Amino acid sequence: MIDAHIHLDQYDQIDERIKTWQEAGISGVVAVSTDLPSSYRTLELKQRFPAFAAIGFHPEQPFPHPQDWEEWVHLVQKERPQLGAIGEVGLPHYSADATTRYQNHCERFEQIVQIASSLSLPLALHAVYEGAQTALSILQKYAVKYAHFHWLKAEASIIKQIVRCGYYISVTPEVCYRERDRKLLSFVPIEQLLLETDGPWPFAGPFSGMETSPLLLKHSLQTVAALYKQDVETVKTTIVSNTKRIYR
């Protein structure tokens, strides 16, 4: 399996953890970043582990300093051969910054989409609720081919639009115990589905008190296979192929 969205740079004792994950059948991860230092750390980790490196500014974090932004743009150009995607990027919803500087975030996101498009890089997106529609409109404006809406929360009509555009949608271990995520799958063809953990973000339900890692993917896989009424191995093969197709 491949974890399609994880904050690899936020784990300690990473060498030991990666070894454990690999022994459990995790063949790779899509490692996303949250800011400039995180982007450098993700690129460094890619040199040692089987990871698709995605660098970017998480939209729920404080707006980046102009110098950090300029350095990041240069970093993207310089490290293009090492990159699997631009991410985690998108639009804020949960932070106080979401209301006071939303237009600034939209303008910055549009700049990021232009950069990704010019370099033929997919986008790993944080765009939920009303932000999903805005992000989708910007992607369509620049004819973006590959985009991944991670841990999507949106109205059914928007989910259907995202699917029609050929973009990918992922679910977290919440799919094992939350009806919202199970309902989401009813709109997503298996050929456009990815599995993620968003680790080290913690989960509730049967995973309460457990460390979030790619080891939880097996539980999501079993649940997803049952919901799609397919055998586990077939679903695993399909989802791994989906992940490789977008992140190449």
3-state secondary structure 76-88: HHHCHHHEEEEEE
Task: Give the pairing type, strands 147-149 and 51-55.
Answer: unpaired
Binding annotation for a divalent metal cation: 5, 7, 88, 126, 150, 198
* Residue 148 DSSP label: E
Indicate the residue type of 103.
Q
CA-to-CA distance for 235 and 164, rounded, in angstroms?
Answer: 21
Binding annotation: 5, 7, 88, 126, 150, 198
CA-to-CA distance for 121 and 18, rounded, in angstroms?
Answer: 26
Write the CA distances from 103 to 36, 98, 170, integer angstroms. 22, 9, 27
Helices (H), the chain: 14-23, 36-46, 66-78, 97-100, 102-118, 130-141, 156-164, 179-185, 217-228, 232-247
DSSP state letters, 88-134: EEE--SSSTHHHHTHHHHHHHHHHHHHHHHHTT--EEEE--THHHHH
